[in-house]
Amino acid sequence: MSTTTSTQLFVALGPLDRELVDPYLEAHQQLILDPTEEQLAVAEAAIVRAAFTVDAALLDRMPALKVLARTGVGTDLVDVEEAGRRGIPVVITPGSNTVSVAEGVFAHLLSLVKRLPTLTGLVRGGRWNDRGAVTVGDLEGATLGVVGFGRIGRKVAQIAEAFDLQVRAYDPFAEIPEAYRCATVDEVLRSSDFVTLHAPLTAENHHLINESRLARMRPGSILVNCSRGALIDLDAAHAAMQSGHLAGLGLDVFDPEPPAYHPVFDHANTVLSPHLMGFTQRAMALTIRAAVEGAMAVLDGRDPAAVAAS
């Protein structure tokens, strides 16, 4: 494909729906979904999906690049420091999937508290009369612990109040209302019936929830992770599930992705989703719009709404 000097090329790095991008491009801008080497070499903007690796080798193939726009906030696979050295800002899109992830937390939580997988199996298998052996719980009056109180953690707390849940929260950096605030992660774990994780994945937070921390959780508690897979030691979680100390486990994220099989996946009180809670139709539209608008801001010489720190 030939291009003119007046055409600004946006290339998709990873799968992208053209219908979500084209409405925001100007007449002189064009999206390439499956770029050739020639198109990569002249592209001025790239829309980067979560599973796509952007390293120095790729940047070498894109000498005209002026901006990387990541659809989301995670930059684990993007060499932000190398991009910064080359004067290429990495736009991120915080907030566009906040509501979707928070709702996903409650989808997992309600499924586990109300024992939906088990009850589905009873009806499907013609075992109606076994229903008396299944204990179904409630959210009202229980305590939800929120580890990480950024945008998603705050939205989770807001939804929790609508369910008449008590909220306890910990975050070493964020402002937390006095009524929610805990001094440590362990305090959250000890005081909560349900725990949801919204902490970033750092070296310190790798296996944040491990054997010793699981032991501090209330017997019969439920753990949900819609943040980063490596926050939980799955071997330790499996042992806690087998002993009954942990009554339910909801996982939307894994390490790595896609994950290798783990025996905790087969537990009757485990609910799994393939990292889709933040990728609803509405959230994806908002995320891609924010990525495109951020890229266009850079190309126009304006400051984008948010960039990753290098």
Residue 211 and residue 233 in contact, taking contact as beta carbons nearer than 8 Å: yes
Chain center to CA of 157: 17
In the block, which residue shows the tokens 């699981």? 214
Marked catalytic residue, from 108, 151, 218, 275: 275
257 noted as active-site residue: yes
- State how far the alpha carbon of 218 is from the alpha carbons of 116, 203, 209, 210, 245, in Å: 22, 26, 14, 14, 8
Query: Who's near 302: CB < 8 A, 6+ residues apart?
Result: none
Strands (E) across 84-233 are located at: 90-91, 143-147, 166-170, 194-197, 221-225
38 noted as active-site residue: no
Helices 98-113 and 151-162, axial angle in degrees (round to 10):
50
275 noted as active-site residue: yes
Residue 105 and residue 156 in contact, taking contact as beta carbons nearer than 8 Å: yes
Q: Residue 12: name the closest of 302, 293, 288, 285 by CA.
A: 288
Residue 131 and residue 114 in contact, taking contact as beta carbons nearer than 8 Å: no
Q: Which tokens go with 41?
A: 């070499």
Marked catalytic residue, from 206, 257, 282, 302: 257
Marked catalytic residue, from 151, 154, 228, 238: 228
Active site residues: 228, 257, 275
